[in-house]
Amino acid sequence: MPRTRAIFVTGASTGIGQACALHLHAAGYRVFAGVRKPSDGEGLGSLVSEGLEWIILDVTATDQISDAVARISAMVGEAGLAGLVNNAGIAVGGPLEYLAPEDLRQQLEVNVIGLHAVTSAFLPLVRLGRGRIVHIGSISGRLASPLIGAYTASKHAVEALTDVLRLELAPEGIHVAVIEPGQVRTPIWTKGLSNFDAFAARLPPEGATRYGGRLKVLQRILERAPLHSSPPEAVARAVSHALESARPRTRYVVGRDARIRLWLSHLLTDRAMDALILAMFRKVERRLA
């Protein structure tokens, strides 16, 4: 069957983005996949025979966004895009007290400003194709956790951007949804571990004393995350539903851990939820001491 409907997925080098690109390709879409490096694109392209084209895209680079729009426009013409999936993102960790402004700026530049820039640039193509927009958020966008404040702030912002854009585009029939995964089996955990040592080494002595025990807990969480995480294909299935369903949801919570955390947040007060999280950290910290 000819692939007459096209979708653009950002951050498709690995993990969730790659799973979404492959899942949508298998569903019959013509997929354009944004990647950071040619080697990433070649690796992704080797997984399918046709119907998937990779495009170099750093969502913080205005010129690359413009080039991607021009290239995809030339290929899809008046058919436009059936969907835009904003997945590109990074995770910056560490206690807020010692988080450098440039680290927070980078976190927001990629996860928030980059997402907005790509959406604005590709919206005319989405209009042409009477398509939909899907943002990959996180359950952290609704529920805060200690030591990942920058990441949590960025995903809270994604929630707000999604809600506002959904309201603004509703009169045109363009649906906007956000996916809220919990822990997902992706390279983000490996990257988190590699960044952990670098951040811990930058802490001043008083910071190491103040947060050292809790940072060890975070390290243990990162180490064990792949054992208890959902597969990225679970997120891809939610994205597919958001793009194709006659009655798409506004939010998709993905993963048992995310659903449990959300249920607890509805059941407990803020103080009780804080006490539960802090008690968990203390318990693990004592075990690691």
Is residue 1 assigned to a domain? no
Is 181 exposed, middle or buried, given 0-12, 13-18 or 19+ CB atoms closer than 10 A?
A: buried
Is residue 167 assigned to a domain? yes
Is residue 15 assigned to a domain? yes
Considering the candidates 29, 151, 211, 252, report the single residue annotated as catalytic.
Answer: 151
Q: How far apart are CA 241 and CA 20, in angstroms?
A: 12
Task: Reply yes or no on whether 252 is catalytic.
Answer: no
Is residue 20 assigned to a domain? yes
Is residue 138 assigned to a domain? yes
pTM: 0.94
Computed on alpha carbons and rounded to an integer, the radius of gyration of the chain in Å comes to 20
**CATH classification at residue 231:** 3.40.50.720
Is residue 75 assigned to a domain? yes
DSSP state of 49: S
- The number of folded domains in the chain is 1
| Element holding 52 (H helix, E strand) | strand 52-56
Helix/strand/coil for 133: strand
pLDDT in tens, 6-62: 999 999 999 999 999 999 999 999 999 999 999 999 999 999 988 999 999 999 999
pLDDT in tens, 273-283: 999 999 999 99
Is residue 37 assigned to a domain? yes
Amino acid type, 198: A
Tokens linked to 266: 């509805």
Q: Which domain does 85 fall in, by range?
A: 6-288
